[in-house]
Amino acid sequence: MSLITAISVHTHCNDLGGKVWNPAITWTKKYAVFITIENPDGITGLGECWCFDTTPDVLVAFLKTEIFPHIVGLTTNDCGALYKGLLSRATLTARHGLLASAWSGVDIALWDLRSREAGLPLWKYLQKHVPQASKSSSSVYLYASGGLYGETKTTDDLVAEMTSMNSAGFEIVKMKTGGLSIEKDLERINAVLSNLEQSFKLIIDGVYSYTVSEALQLYNALPADRIEAFQSPVSADDLPGMKTLRDAGVPVMATEAEYRSEIHQQLIHTGAVKYLQTAPIACGGLSRLMQLSEQITQTGNPNIHLSLEVSSTAVALLAAAHYSAVCNEVVHVEYHYLHQVFFDDLKLQPVKKSTGWFELSDCAGLGIDLPESETHLAYTQR
């Protein structure tokens, strides 16, 4: 337990040029928002917030006015009570989603700070301090994510992209669907599958673009043993549709940025998903992941797992990876091939070639420092 003497927010803009897209969005500029928390000894913890807006201004303003003034002067142990108070206030302000995104960064930074103070990598600190830490490991299972549509991207280009992921050490890869007709997307999927080794699997991401009948048509035309998951096959609010697909044997994975506990609870307890997919930087941070792990364990259903979404920076990836390394409920973590801000600082090493397993470093905390020269300091509270 230590005193919080300062908290800051930094931003970063990744210019993706508008040349690739999925059925929901064309990628132009992608912003990232980071939180740093400092103790009296100058040790800092780092976290990241979910930010899919055209600019980070609203999120930064919310952090500045609604969260930062309440944190400085607290101890790291006081912050859980603070969050409960902010959550109660959000009932009046109708800002639950914004609060979840903002607090995710704060929560991750707090865990990073605690583990740095202890001189331990975060995965090792979690093993010692978290009841849900059900395994003793320093390795994480990653799948490679890409396969977007592009201006001049051919099927041959897609195949080359996906097979290069296998060569880089991943045995599960993910591609987008739903941007073309079912027939044309089937051609793309089958071309990829025919060029992957038989033991390698594919995640298809429909980005909420199908009806239940369309999703069944697509899935039933594919070899089921080669499809690890069908991500976001129907609209995010169609829980009955997901349950229908799940009952038909479709390995549904949903829904990446969801933060509402009541939706998570429905997805878990109705068995509407095989993989409850959530982003640590959107759902409330590592503390929220611990609650989800406990809920899944309490159902006693061995067919529901956690899969952690990452589509921003190395900070988000490492937060997901460290939690995954100690939690049996997490089966895989996304390693994105488009969103790769600060990925040169990851320090991940393949355990063996083409197994999907990667070793985390022994550096304290998350194992990454914010490259401040590459970010913009938006605000500091002392």
- At 292-310, the pLDDT tens digits run 999 999 998 899 999 999 9
Does residue 335 sit in the same domain as residue 200?
A: yes
Domain-located, residue 276:
yes
Residue 369, token pair as written in the block: 């420092």
Q: How many CB atoms lie within 10 A of CB 243?
A: 18
Does residue 256 sit in the same domain as residue 164?
A: yes
Quote the percentage of the chain above a pLDDT of 90: 89
Return the CATH number at 18. 3.30.390.10
- Rounded Cα gap, residues 70 and 78, in angstroms: 11
Q: Is the pTM of this model over 0.85?
A: yes
Return the CATH number at 269. 3.20.20.120
Does residue 175 sit in the same domain as residue 319?
A: yes
Say yes or no to pLDDT of 52 above 90.
no
Q: What is the mean pLDDT of the chain?
A: 95
Residue range 145-159, pLDDT digits in tens: 999 999 899 999 999
Is 245:234 a contact under the CB 8 Å cutoff? Answer: yes
Residue 352 is predicted with a pLDDT of 73
Residue 137 is predicted with a pLDDT of 80
Does residue 162 sit in the same domain as residue 236?
A: yes
- Rounded Cα gap, residues 318 and 289, in angstroms: 14
Lowest-pLDDT choice from 95-109, 117-131, 232-246, 266-280:
117-131
Residue range 109-162, pLDDT digits in tens: 999 999 999 999 999 999 988 776 777 788 999 999 999 999 899 999 999 999
Does residue 86 sit in the same domain as residue 170?
A: no
Does residue 105 sit in the same domain as residue 141?
A: no
Question: Where residue 354 falls among pLDDT bands split at 50, 70, 90?
Answer: low
Which residue do the tokens 């488009």 mark?
338
81: number of CA atoms within 13 Å, CB side?
A: 5
Does residue 45 sit in the same domain as residue 179?
A: no
Does residue 229 sit in the same domain as residue 350?
A: yes
Closest among 103, 72, 106, 104 to 3, alpha carbons compared: 72
Does residue 184 sit in the same domain as residue 286?
A: yes
DSSP letter string, 16-59: -TT-EE-SS-B-SEEEEEEEEEE-TTS-EEEEEE---SSSSHHH
Residue range 300-342, pLDDT digits in tens: 889 999 999 999 999 999 999 999 999 999 999 999 999 999 9
Residue range 4-29, pLDDT digits in tens: 999 999 999 999 999 999 999 999 99
Is 326:130 a contact under the CB 8 Å cutoff? Answer: yes
Residue 351 is predicted with a pLDDT of 85
Closest among 312, 311, 310 to 321, alpha carbons compared: 310
Domain count, the chain: 2
Quote the percentage of the chain above a pLDDT of 70: 99
Instruction: Please report the beta strands in the chain, taking only residues with DSSP state E, as ranges in sequence order.
Output: 6-15, 20-21, 29-38, 44-49, 139-145, 149-150, 172-176, 201-205, 227-231, 252-254, 275-278, 305-308, 330-336, 349-350, 357-359, 376-381
Question: Where residue 53 falls among pLDDT bands split at 50, 70, 90?
Answer: confident
Does residue 99 sit in the same domain as residue 77?
A: yes
Does residue 106 sit in the same domain as residue 135?
A: no
Cα dihedral 308, 101, 48, 116 sign? negative
Domain that holds residue 54: 6-120+370-381
Does residue 64 sit in the same domain as residue 186?
A: no
